[in-house]
Structure 1
């Protein structure tokens, strides 16, 4: 004997089909509202010119700067104007001391010999570095040499380049040449598999030729916002930035200037970033 199969009436079939279509639309709409998948890693990036530890009150106080960093709770910090064992700052390895005070890993990159020690930039990170490199940028012998320093770091199941730089402050032409060198380097190493974040004191306002050149290849965090970072006491311009490349590998979640006018002559810039699948 053949089993009896209940026949679903045509009007009930149509109703069920409409319900399934509606459910699919709602699911897609919800996903669109939520943005990236929850599994997409997010990171907090801070760029901070620490003025060799000296605040606007002319006091040398790394503990005060470390407190600013800890409160921001970044995954990566790009530091500019960092001393290492110089006479002017008490022969202290400032990178090591800030790493200790913030419970992060610290990596110093030398620009020049200075006052019995060294002067340059540094990276603080929660993750340990996998690879490091540095490149001197175009300049002139009579001026301070400028540096682009980078590290390769793990972030979840992916890796990325995180870099710090400090571009020339007094000569537009030199600064524009430095931007070209930066772009040429990352054109070869920044890929969807190894995306890049560069943070630092660019010494350029948003409408400058240098920043227009950067905007051709990079996403500038907060490019549509007024983010005043310098001078710290009463800031009237932005010269500190966080930029990312390739542009479709990152989504900027939030960006803010930290309200501190004492610890350094720059205000730190904090950016929260999602790495897209």
Structure 2
């Protein structure tokens, strides 16, 4: 079984040209053509925290949002959302609290694909290195104590500038942290802030930063993409 995952900090729908344009974000998502997409900054930060992407726009796409929202008009939790292809069953979904000094969280969905259960987490980590490390530990602890272990993918804006150190050192026990490439800032990317990491049950077919002309202006981050394959059991 092979699936394509993507992560995209959509900057609340505001491009580097200063224009708010949800339709442009949808067009970038269509370019990605992934099976599962983790979004960051997908909701407004204040008030009712409604989704940046209108429901009518999302209804015309191949994806639906995993039900991780705690407010009726939100797409996700603290701006984190998971979009899943409509033919993939969502068997469990929840929001996770992360240790932080400011509003941060993560989202998790368990999916059923061809009879195989997989787990996906999306997050937007803190600017502080110490808090980022605690947040990764909390997510790994959560995965380790889920009732049903299964192949897992964790992705999002990790706010980690270094390629191999910092919070990435927390991923042990077979977790893979591929160097996908620089995704920030979108017009002239110099930092690999956006990541996709995966548990030992997966093999990586390919990874890349999606640097199209549209993506370069739609947000201050470029999306990242990885195609993963479940390894056969011994």
Whether the TM-score (by the shorter chain) exceeds 0.5 is: yes
CA offsets, 1:204-247, max 9 Å, x none?
13233211222555111x33x5x0011111100101111111x1
Matched positions, count: 221
Check conservation: 2:6, 2:34, Cα contact below 8 A. yes
Does residue 78 of structure 1 match 2:50? no
- Over residues 114-155 of structure 1, what are the superposed CA-to-partner deviations in whole Å (9 max), with x where a residue is unaligned? xxxx85211111123111112110012xx2x21121011111
Determine if the alignment matches structure 1 residue 136 to structure 2 residue 97. Answer: yes
Partner of 1:214: 171
Residue 108 of structure 1, CA deviation: 5.7
Task: For residue 109 of structure 1, report the CA deviation from its aligned partner.
Answer: 3.9
**Structure 1 stretches of 5 or more lacking a match?**
1-40, 113-117
Of Structure 1 and Structure 2, which has the larger fraction of its residues in helix?
1
Cα-to-partner distance string for 1:38-78 (whole Å, 9 max, x where unaligned): xxx10010100111111111111111111111122110000
Using CA pairs under 8 Å that are at least 6 residues apart, name the structure with larger relative contact order, 1 or 2.
2
In the other structure, the counterpart of 2:203 is: 251
1:179 paired to 2:136: yes
- Give, in whole Å, the separation in 2 of the partners of 1:98 and 1:147: 25
| CA distance 1:200–1:85, shift in 2 (3 Å) | closer
Q: Normalising to structure 2: TM-score of the pair?
A: 0.85
1:212-251 aligned at under 5 Å gives the runs: 212-215=169-172, 217-220=174-177, 222-223=178-179, 227-245=181-199, 247=200, 249-251=201-203
Q: Quote the residue 1:94 is aligned against.
A: 53
Q: CA-atom RMSD, angstroms? A: 2.6
* 1:264 paired to 2:222: no
Partner of 2:26: 66
Highest Rg: 1 or 2?
1
Partner of 1:195: 151
Matched, 1:125 2:84: yes
**Number of the residue aligned with 1:11:** none
Which one of 103, 126, 148 corresponds to residue 106 of structure 2?
148
The answer (yes or no) to whether the contact 2:7–2:224 under 8 Å persists in 1 is yes
Q: Which runs of 5+ in 2 are unaligned?
A: 72-76
Mapped contact 1:111–1:146 kept (Cα < 8 A): no
8 Å CA contact 2:42–2:79 kept in 1: the answer is: yes
Structure 1 position 188, deviation (Å): 2.5
8 Å contact kept, 2:13–2:52: no
- Per the alignment, residue 74 of structure 2 pairs with none
